[in-house]
Amino acid sequence: LHKLTISAWKSYFKVLKKDMEVAVGQISFTADIWSDSLHHPYLGMTAHWIKRNTSSHLTLEVNLIAFHQLMGCHNGKALVKVALDMLDCSNATIKV
* 21-54 b/e (C-beta count within 10 Å ≥ 16 → b): eebeeebebeeeeeeeeeeeeebebebebeeeee
pLDDT at 65 over 80: yes
pLDDT at 51 over 90: yes
pLDDT digits (tens, 9 = 90+) for 3-34: 898 899 889 888 888 888 889 999 999 999 98
pTM: 0.77
